[in-house]
Each structure stands twice: as C-alpha cells, then as structure tokens.
Amino acid sequence: MSDLMRKYQMSKTGIWHHIKDIDLSDDVRKAIRSYRGGSKAEKIREWERAQKESDSILEHVDIRKAWPILYAALYWSEGTKSSFVFTNTDQKMVQVFLKIMRTNLGIKNEELDFMIRTCTPMNPIECRKHWSKVAQVPISQIRVNHNDRHNKSHTQFGMCRITLRRGAYQLKLVHCLFRGIADKMLTQTLP
C-alpha cells in the first residue's frame, strides 16, 4: 500500500477503497504479507523525509525567542506540578532544560540538586559519571538512589532528577508561562 500511496500520491484510505475487492492468489498474498511491518529501505526513506520536513520547519525558527515555549513545554511534560523537580532519561532533553535555566533564568549550579535513580544492572558509579558530564556539574553534586524495587528501568544510565532549591518562584513562573502559552494557542488562529 505504501508503494501505491507514493506512486499515485493518494491517501491510504483512498488506495484501500481501490484495492479492497481485488482477489489475489495465495502466492501473491504470501508475497504481500512479507512486506508487512515495513521494509528497512522504507524506514530509511521515512527518516530522510522526516529530516527534510524538520529542517524546513525549523529553518526560520529563532531559537533565542523560542526558549520560553520550549522551557514551558519541557516542564509541562516532564516536571512535577507541586515543587520544582524535572525528571528525564534523555540527555539532550536534560541539557536543553539546564541550558535554558542557566542562560535565560540565571540559575547557578549551586541552586540545583541532582539525584540519579538507578536499578540493577546499572552501575551507580558509571551513572553518576555519565550525568555529571551531561549536566556539567561535579560528580560530588550528584546523589544516587539505587533501588531495584522502585526504580525499575531499562535505560543505560538511569533517570536524572533535577530539583531547584528554593524553586517556589520558578515553579510559579513556569506555571504562568504554560498557562499563557496555552491561552494564546487556543485563542489565536494558527496557520
């Protein structure tokens, strides 16, 4: 179907309506079933297409002006709502969040508390080294909670939990940002 969609520039539903009543031999049916789940070449083409579309979308984005939206969205999806705690396993997400806090909000490393949640077979020392490098803080600033019962995870380096000490104002700020962004999104006509 994906080949037909590409060839005829039609939607999946449109193609399905044209082919749904075609009677196929067992050999042809078997050959078609072997393509289900997508081929490696198709997945590569989809990644290439997605990268081109992403590049086009981001071409004119001024990231210096986008930080409040990204900051609010990251916290909205990955932050605790009652105290200023941001948790994630993705190192780029953690790095972007920390860069915004340090660059745009003037947060210092001393104001941040890092705790890594790990479980077996993770090596807590290696996890501390990893997150120390990612967060650009001394390893001594990173605590570890190693618990096989409560920290179950399949990640390589565990979960990084960042708490902003005396973060009450920043929590209020991020709540106001995401409320304001949501209000603007819901009241304005988008292209």
Domain ranges, residue 29: 2-58
Does one domain contain both 89 and 181? yes
Indicate whether 82 pLDDT > 70. yes
Coil, strand, or helix at residue 72? helix
Q: Is the peptide bond before 121 cis (omega within 30 degrees of 0)?
A: yes
The pLDDT value given to residue 5? 81
| Percentage of the chain exceeding pLDDT 90 | 54
Q: Is the pLDDT of residue 35 over 70?
A: no
The verdict on 122 and 172 lying in the same domain is yes
* Confidence at residue 111, expressed as pLDDT on a 0 to 100 scale: 96
What is the CB neighbour count within 10 angstroms for residue 5? 15
Mapped onto helix, strand or coil, the DSSP state of residue 62 is coil
Residues 99 and 170 in one domain: yes
User: Do 32 and 75 reside in the same domain of the chain?
Assistant: no
Query: 106 with 121, same domain?
Result: yes
Q: Comparing 26 with 96, which gets the higher pLDDT?
A: 96
Domain count, the chain: 2
What type of residue is 169? Y
**Secondary structure of residue 106 in the 3-state scheme:** coil
83-119, pLDDT tens digit by residue? 999 999 999 999 999 999 999 999 999 999 999 999 8
Please give the full DSSP string across 4-55, using - where no structure is assigned: HHHHHT--HHHHHHHHTT----HHHHHHHHTTTT--HHHHHHHHHHHHHHHH
Residues 154 and 174 in one domain: yes
Domain limit, last residue, from 11, 29, 58: 58
Q: Are residues 73 and 167 in the same domain?
A: yes
Q: Of 12, 43, 58, which closes a domain?
A: 58
- What are the pLDDT digits (tens) for 140-169? 999 998 887 777 778 889 999 999 999 999
- In this structure, the answer to whether residues 143 and 130 fall within a common structural domain is yes
Same domain, 73 and 117: yes
Are 86 and 131 found together in one domain?
yes
Domain check: are 69 and 124 in the same one?
Answer: yes
The confidence band for 48, taking pLDDT boundaries of 50, 70 and 90, is very high
Per-residue pLDDT at 18: 85
Over 90: is that where the pLDDT of 53 sits? yes
d(CA 152, CA 161): 15
Look at residue 34 and tell me whether its pLDDT is greater than 70. no
* Domain end position, chosen among 33, 58, 83: 58
The packing angle between helices 91-105 and 63-78, to 10°, is 120
Same domain? For 91 and 117 the reply is yes
